[in-house]
């Protein structure tokens, strides 16, 4: 005899399909949750790793900044020392020139003329003094111009006055300073 199933098989099939769907939906939901959780853990681990790298780099940058400041300070100190050395060398080289300059002034100064003030501003000399006459001031200026150590003098002021029955000429002049080429070589040695 044949078996005839009189039970509502379609309903039972629907229940089984619904049960399978629910189990499958729960499994997919759990898989999604596990995936989200693992992704969250992975991203947090990467963030932590990147933060550690950033902290390391920031520390290294601070160290390098400090070293750069130290190098700049050393460079500034070095430049200051080089500037001082240059000034000292210039002073050493010009020491004999000052002696020669005064010697040359004495050689160009005619009798009856004396200086009351000598001021050096860069490569210019400002001379002030007294002479017995205007002619002696003119002779002094000619002597300065003829000297290889001086350029052309410029008379600023000349005033004639009488003191204790003696006639004197007060003068003030400027003269550029030059140095003969062979004397520069000797001074540098």
What are the residues whose beta carbons fall under 8 Å from the beta carbon of 141, sequence distance 6 or more? 153, 155, 173
Regarding whether 160 and 140 lie in a shared domain, the answer is yes
Residue 17 lies in a domain: yes
Check if the beta carbon of residue 175 is closer than 8 Å to that of residue 125.
Answer: yes
DSSP helix/strand/coil, 174:
strand
- In this structure, are 97 and 10 located in the same domain? yes
Q: Find the mean pLDDT for residues 114-127.
A: 90
- Average pLDDT of the residues in 48-75: 97
Number of domains in the chain: 2
Q: C-alpha 66: how far from its chain's center?
A: 18
Say if residue 35's pLDDT is above 90.
yes
Q: Which two tokens stand for residue 35?
A: 């995936």
- 94 domain-assigned: yes
pLDDT confidence of residue 189 = 41
**In-domain check, residue 98:** yes
Between 162 and 85, whose confidence is greater? 85
Residue 131 lies in a domain: yes
Q: What residues make up the domain containing 153?
A: 109-188
φ, ψ of residue 179 in degrees (nearest 5): -125, 135
Q: Is residue 47 part of a domain?
A: yes
DSSP 72: H
Measured at the alpha carbon of residue 140, what is the angle toward residues 138 and 141, in degrees to the nearest 5? 65
Structural domain includes residue 1? no
């Amino acid at each position: 005899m044949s078996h005839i199933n009189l039970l509502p098989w379609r309903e039972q099939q629907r229940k089984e399909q619904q049960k399978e769907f629910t189990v499958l939906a729960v499994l997919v939901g759990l898989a999604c949750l596990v995936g989200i959780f693992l992704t969250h853990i992975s991203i947090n681990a990467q963030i932590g790793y990147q933060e550690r790298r950033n902290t390391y780099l920031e520390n290294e940058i601070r160290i390098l900044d400090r070293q750069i400041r130290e190098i700049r300070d050393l460079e500034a100190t070095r430049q200051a020392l080089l500037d001082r050395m240059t000034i000292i060398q210039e002073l050493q080289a010009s020491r004999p020139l000052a002696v020669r300059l005064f010697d040359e002034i004495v050689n160009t100064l005619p009798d009856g003329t004396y200086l009351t003030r000598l001021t050096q501003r860069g490569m210019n000399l400002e001379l002030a003094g007294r002479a017995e006459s205007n002619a002696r001031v003119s002779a002094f200026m000619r002597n300065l111009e003829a000297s290889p150590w001086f350029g052309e003098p410029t008379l600023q002021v000349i005033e004639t006055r009488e003191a204790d029955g003696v006639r004197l000429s007060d003068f003030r002049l400027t003269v550029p300073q030059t140095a003969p080429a062979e004397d520069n070589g000797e001074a540098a040695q």
